[in-house]
Structure 1
Amino acid sequence: MKFKKSLLALLMGSSVALAACGGGDEGANKPKEDNNNAGKETAAADGEAVYKQSCVSCHGENLEGSVGPALDKIGSKMSEQEIRDVIKKGQGSMPPNVVEGAEADAVAKWLAEKK
Structure 2
Amino acid sequence: MKKYWFSLIGVSLLLLTACGQSSDTPSEETKNGSTNSSTTQVTGAEAIAKQNCTRCHGGNLQGSYGPNLQQIGAKYNKEQLLGVLNNGIGSMGPQKQLNDAQKEELATWLAEKK
> In which range does the TM-score fall when normalised by the shorter chain?
0.7 to 0.9
| Distance in 1 (alpha carbons) for counterparts of 2:88 and 2:49 | 15
Deviation for aligned residue 1:88: 0.6
Q: Any stretches of 5+ residues in structure 1 without a counterpart?
A: none
- The runs of 4+ residues in structure 1 deviating greater than 3 Å are 3-10, 24-28
Letter of the 2:22 counterpart? G
Q: Scaled by the length of structure 2, what TM-score is found? A: 0.74
From 86, 89, 94, the counterpart of 1:88: 86
| Distance in 2 (alpha carbons) for counterparts of 1:72 and 1:63 | 6
Q: Scaled by the length of structure 1, what TM-score is found? A: 0.74
Q: Counterpart of 1:12?
A: 13
| Distance in 1 (alpha carbons) for counterparts of 2:80 and 2:8 | 31
| Distance in 2 (alpha carbons) for counterparts of 1:63 and 1:108 | 14
| Distance in 2 (alpha carbons) for counterparts of 1:51 and 1:85 | 16
Q: Counterpart of 2:61?
A: 63
Residues 35/112 of structure 1: CA separation in 2 closer, same or farther (3 Å cut): same
The answer to whether the aligner puts 1:104 opposite 2:103 as a matched pair is yes
Residues 5/111 of structure 1: CA separation in 2 closer, same or farther (3 Å cut): farther
Please identify which structure carries the higher helix content: 1
- Residues 62-95 of structure 1: CA distance to partner in whole angstroms, max 9, x if unpaired? 1101110000000011101111101110011111
Letter of the 2:47 counterpart? A
Q: Any stretches of 5+ residues in structure 2 without a counterpart?
A: 36-40
Q: 8 Å contact 1:88–1:100 — kept in the other structure?
A: no
Letter of the 2:12 counterpart? L
Across the aligned residues of Structure 1 and Structure 2, the Cα RMSD in angstroms comes to 3.0
Letter of the 2:103 counterpart? A
